[in-house]
Structure 1
C-alpha cells in the first residue's frame, strides 16, 4: 500500500469548496511521505469535473460513475468507495469534513477494520494528525498504526483551497458494481443549517470584534469600520455569548469557519477556539493593546495600541481614500 487518495465532493455538478482544501492537504501529505497523490470524484456524469481536476498536480483523477450515485445515499457511496479504495490500495484516504462525509465515511472505514480520524486541524511529520477535544481546549495527536488504509477528514479552513498545486493528471473511469437492492436508504431532503442572515464563509473581507471592545454600546465603532471596508461584521465567542451580536456572526470552533482575503481582528486576544475558525484567512491584521496577545502570532500585520483611537482613525482614512 502506498500513496494518498483524496475523495472530493460535488453536488449536481458543483464542487463543495472544501474539496479543494482536502486536495491541498492530500498533496502536502503526499509530499511529506514522498508518494503520489490521486483524487476521486463520484456521481453520474462527472467526467467534466474529473477533467477540471486533471489540471492539478496528481498522479490521476478517478471518475466513479454509476446511475445509483446520481443522488447521494450512504449505502451507494460506501459500496462504491469500498471497491475503488481496494483497487487503488492507498495508504491514506483524505476527505473534506462535510456533513455528507460524516454520514458515510465512518461506515467506509469500518469495512477496512479502521476508524475515521475526523475533523483534523493539522498534520505533522510521522504522519501525526491533530484534532481538537473539549471545544478546542485540548489538542490530541493521532497516529495510524493498523494495517490497511488510514481514513482522515480535514476541518474546514485548515488548508487553503487556492493553494492546490497545478499540474497534469490522467483521468480514469471506474464503474463500481452496484445493485439497487444494496441501497437500503433513499435520498431525503438535504441537511440545512439553521437559517442565517449572513454566510461568513463566503465573505472576502471580515472585521471581527472581541472582548477588547469593552461594552455592547461600543460595537457601532467597529460596525462603522466594517461598513467603510465593505466587510462583514463578525465576533469572537464572548461577544456572542453576551448577546451583543447574533450567534451566527461567531467565528471559531463553535461558530463559523472562514477564509477571507482579509481578516481584521479588533480587540481579539486569539484563543485557540477562535484561531481555528479564521486560520484559513489569506491576510490577518490584528489590533490589540496587549503586545503579547496570541493573535499576533498568526497575524500578518499587528497594531499594538488603543482600539478606541485606532479604529476611528482607520475608518476615517478608509472613507477618505474612497472619496
Structure 2
C-alpha cells in the first residue's frame, strides 16, 4: 500500500491539520505496512518534513504554487498522483481542501471521503466520520484507491514519529488556461484574539441567554486565568467579536482544558475544539452533543453552578 499526504502551508509554515493528517498516515502505515510520502509546495517545510519517519518528501518547486490557486493545485496533484500512483491520498480538511480536492476526486475518478475523525483497522481500512450533527458516526470502507480528509483535531501532530527521509525536488509543467483567479487572502483584524496557544479556554455558548450574562462567564475565566472563546451563535448575536469564535468558521484550538458553558455542541463547533486534552461541559440539556466528547459532563443550570464555582475559586 502507498499513501500520499498533501501538506498545506501558509506563511512558510505547515498547516497543523495537515500535520495531524500526516500522523494519521503514519498510523495507517504501522497497521498496513504502507509507504508514506508527503508532497508540499514550500522548500522550508519540505526540509522540516524530512525529519519525520516517511519514505520520501516530494517538494514541488513551481512559482505558480507560491500563492493559492485551485487549478494549479489540482494539476500538480494530478501529475504527482499519475507518477506515484498512491492507493490513498490524505488531506487535512481545510477551506482550501473543500475548494479543490472534490475536483481532484472527479479528475482522478477516485472516491473522496471527507471530514473523517478516525480510522478503524480491520481486515480492511474503515474511515469514521460524524453525521446528523455528530449524533451518529458513519463507517466507510474504501475499495481499492481513494481520497480522505481528516477534521482538525482528529489526531495530534505532536505524536508524529520522527526519523529521516530524502527530499525529491520536482518542477512540473503547469501550463494551463486559468478560469479561476483568487482574490486577496482574508486576514483577521489586528485586534483579533489568537487562541491557538491558549492552555485554558472558557467558551461561551447560546445557553448563557443574553449579553449581560457574558460577564459572569468572564469572571470565571479570570479566576482560572483562562482565555475566552465563543460559539457561532454568540458571535452572530453580537455578544462577542468574531475573533473569539471557535469552530469550522473560526479558530481551531487544542488547550489543556476546555470549559464549555452553555454550548450544545453543533458539529461546526466541535471540529474546532475536540483536540483539547480535557473537556468539561456545563449544560442543562442531557442530550447536548458536546457531552459525547466531554471528559466531564456537568448537567445543570449554569446560573446556579457558575456563581458557586467562582466563589470556591
CA contact (8 A) 1:84 1:174 kept: no
Does the C-alpha gap of structure 1 residues 122 and 313 become closer, same or farther in structure 2, counting only changes over 3 Å? Answer: same
Quick check: 1:84 aligned with 2:118?
no
Q: Which residue of 2 aligns with 1:321?
A: none
Separation of aligned partners in 2, 1:183 and 1:171:
30
Q: Report if aligned partners of 2:151, 2:271 keep a CA contact under 8 Å in 1.
A: no
The 1:11/1:211 distance shift into structure 2, 3 A limit, reads closer
1:3 to partner: Cα distance:
1.9
Per-residue CA distance 1:238-289 (angstroms, 9 max, x = gap): 6557665556645456765432232122354656664443211122234467
- Following TM superposition, by how much is the alpha carbon of 1:165 offset from its aligned partner in structure 2, in angstroms? 2.0
Q: What residue in structure 2 maps to residue 258 of structure 1?
A: 253
Taking the TM superposition and a 5 Å limit, the aligned residue runs for 1:230-245 are 230-236=225-231, 244-245=239-240
- 1:112-144 alpha-carbon deviations (Å, 9 max, x no partner): 212432222332233222334455455433322
- Rate the CA distance shift 1:35–1:241 in 2: closer, same or farther, 3 A: same
Runs (5+) with no aligned partner, structure 1: 319-323
Give the Å deviation of 1:41: 1.0
Identify the residue that residue 155 of structure 1 maps to in structure 2: 151
TM-score between both structures, scaled by the size of structure 2:
0.80
Give TM-score, length-normalised by structure 1: 0.78
- 2:183 aligns with 189
Contact 2:29 2:35 in 1 (8 A): yes
RMSD: 3.4
Counterparts of 2:116 and 2:289, CA distance in 1:
21
Question: Number of aligned pairs?
Answer: 310
Q: Secondary structure of the residue that 2:4 maps to in structure 1? A: strand
**Structure 2: 5+ residue runs without aligned partners?**
none
2:14 paired with 1:15: yes
Contact 1:74–1:185 under 8 Å retained in 2: no
Query: What does residue range 164-183 of structure 1 map to in structure 2 within 5 Å?
Result: 164-176=160-172, 178-180=173-175, 182-183=176-177
| Alpha-carbon offset, residue 207 of structure 1 | 0.1
